[in-house]
Amino acid sequence: MVLSNFHLHSDPGDNVAFSDFLFDNQAFADAMYGSMNEEGVFTAQTGQASTLDDANQMNSRDKFTVIFQEHLKEAGYETIVSYEDAHGNFNGVWSFFCAFASLSSKLRWYANEAEVNLAIKKRMIKTTQGESPLVYFDGATMQIYQFPSRSEEVVFCRTFPDAFGCNIVHRIDPTKLDITAANLEIKPSGAVDVELGVFTKVDIPKNSYVSMKDQTNDIYFPPSTYELIQNFTKHPAGSDYAFLDEFLSSYGFGHHYFVSFSSLRLFSL
CA-CA-CA-CA dihedral for 103, 156, 149, 14, to nearest 10: 90
CA–CA dist 194, 188 (Å, integer): 8
Fold of the CATH domain 3-159: Rossmann fold (3.40.50)
Q: Edge-to-edge strand order for the sheet containing 3-8?
A: 3-8, 36-48, 94-100, 79-85
**Res 142: pLDDT:** 92
Q: Edge-to-edge strand order for the sheet containing 253-254?
A: 220-221, 259-260, 253-254
Beta bridge partners of 8: 44
Q: Per residue of the chain (269 residues), what is the pLDDT tens digit?
A: 445 555 555 566 556 666 677 788 899 899 989 988 888 899 988 888 888 898 888 888 788 888 999 999 999 998 899 999 888 777 788 899 999 998 888 888 888 899 999 999 888 888 888 888 888 889 999 999 988 888 998 999 999 988 877 877 667 788 888 888 888 888 888 777 777 788 889 999 888 888 877 776 667 777 788 888 888 988 888 888 888 887 777 766 554 434 444 444 444 33
**Res 172: pLDDT:** 76
**Residue extents of the structural domains in the chain:** 3-159, 171-211, 218-269
What is the β-pairing status of strands 178-179 and 209-210? Answer: parallel
In 3D space, the residue among 246, 243, 267, 101 whose CA is nearest the CA of residue 181 turns out to be: 267
